[in-house]
Amino acid sequence: MSAHFGNFTVMLASLTYKGLPLTWIARDANNPYLVRFMDRLRREKGIHSFNKFNFKETMKRINQWLMEGKILCLLIDQHSRGVEVAFLGNRVQAATGASALARKYGAEVVGIFIYREKNYRHRILVEGPYPFARTGNDAADDAANIQFYYKRIEKHIQSKPEAWFTWFHRRFR
């Protein structure tokens, strides 16, 4: 689990380079030239992503990926239907996919964040595994888990607000 925090593409490339079988879910940018350019760069570094445009096909691919025990990185800090959570002094809607997928596949959830350091270096911080609510009430468990994840994201944003580039997202307008 992560957020649009720091240079997450460098983070994904670094983890892939270290041999971790990793992918993420992405939405194409509005500029098709940028999409092709970024896709080419990512593929050259071994970074693969699932495009959330075709939800049914994406879910089939995610299912296969997770059944093989591979790592799915979800950037969960975007507005999405789901549960309402407290985030940066606001009540916001948050997707429950990270919690639902972890429950379905028995996966552990970790937080992963990248920080820029001096001299063009970066530090990747991995937290967890996080505690996971499993009371038998899936909706309540999802709400509790997602709220916990958002509190972790909030902590990182507060420590380095300039690294988070979702400040202008529609949920804060």
41 lies in some domain? yes
Q: Are strands 71-73 and 22-26 parallel, antiparallel or unpaired?
A: parallel
Structure tokens at 118: 């001096």
Q: Is the pLDDT of residue 117 over 60?
A: yes
Domain that includes residue 122, residue range: 8-165
The total of structural domains in the chain comes to 1
pTM above 0.85, yes or no: yes
**Which of 30-34, 66-70, 108-112 has the weakest average pLDDT?**
30-34
Q: What is the pLDDT of residues 51-87, one digit of tens each?
A: 777 788 889 999 999 999 999 999 998 878 899 999 9
171 lies in some domain? no
100 lies in some domain? yes
157 lies in some domain? yes
173 lies in some domain? no
Residue written as tokens 């925090």? 5
pLDDT: which is higher, 155 or 51: 155
Separation in Å, CA 42 to CA 23, 48, 106, 138, 168: 11, 7, 29, 35, 25
pLDDT: which is higher, 9 or 130: 130
* Cβ atoms within 10 Å, residue 130: 16
| Residues 157, 4 contacting (CB under 8 angstroms) | no
Length of the chain counted residue by residue: 173
172 lies in some domain? no
